[in-house]
Amino acid sequence: MTEPTRIFHNPRCSKSRQALALLQERGIEPEIIRYLDSPPSIAELTTILKQLECSPRELLRTGEAVYRELELADPEIRDRRLIEVMTENPILIERPIVIHKGRARLGRPPEQILELF
């Protein structure tokens, strides 16, 4: 059995809602992960980063207050620490992320997720 398509979703985010609608318009009912309520583990986020082919810093939401409070712009902060901080403060994780058949895309813009199908 293959894993279902998953979306790391924040219903308050317009891009996240648009990405979910794009999937549903194509008959895809993904597993919806409300990552602010159920943040990914360090291992899961590490896997997602590999699937996205991006660094932790590229997945950070730099406009969030906690980004400034924790001084995460410091280039000396190692990837492992950034991953830990994102799991502790999931608001810092850029969204939406769609995972399908071991590959992932960030829905910025939302249409980018369609590359998975």
Angle, alpha carbons 32-37-43 (nearest 5°): 80
- pLDDT of 101 reads 95
Look-up: residue for tokens 């403060």? 89
Domains for the chain: give ranges and CATH numbers: 6-116 (3.40.30.10)
Q: Report the catalytic residues.
A: 13
- pLDDT of 3 reads 79
Angle, alpha carbons 14-72-102 (nearest 5°): 55
- pLDDT of 1 reads 55
- pLDDT of 39 reads 96
What are the mean pLDDT values of the chain's consecutive 10-residue runs (117 residues total)?
87 96 96 97 98 97 97 97 98 97 96 95
- pTM (2 d.p.): 0.93
- The whole-angstrom separation of Cα 21 and Cα 113 is 11
